[in-house]
Amino acid sequence: MAIKLAQVGFGSFLSLEHARRVLTPQSARVQKLVREQKANGAVIDLTNGRRTTAVIPLDNGQFVLVAAQPKKLRAEGLLIDLADFRRSLSAR
């Protein structure tokens, strides 16, 4: 079985089997989640000092911050689905 990877910028790749969606960091809910995960040490920053344009939650509870445009990430196979993500958080 081949592993599918998405290029998230600056020579970094992310396994598609661990990430299913892309969130935009402008919403207050996503910003709060990122702050909470940073306090827990569960944020992986792949922005190389640039502005965060997308937040990718992983299946293990970590968040990946990337500077790649969400359109590019959607083309790589990741989906934006904030409503589903909110429902999955409330189910925990």
In a 3-state reduction of DSSP, which class is residue 88? helix
Residue span of the structural domain in which 65 resides = 21-86
The helix/strand/coil state of 67 is coil
| In a domain? residue 44 | yes
Number of domains in the chain: 1
Q: Is residue 55 part of a domain?
A: yes
CA 45 to each of CA 55, 87, 88: distance values in angstroms, whole numbers, following the listed order: 10, 25, 23
In a domain, 73, yes or no: yes
Integer distance in angstroms from the first to the last C-alpha of the chain? Answer: 30
**pLDDT tens per residue across all 92 residues of the chain:** 677 777 888 888 888 888 868 888 999 999 999 999 999 999 999 999 999 999 999 999 999 999 987 777 766 666 444 455 556 566 65
**Any domain includes 14:** no
Is 2 part of any domain?
no
Q: What is the pTM of this model?
A: 0.77
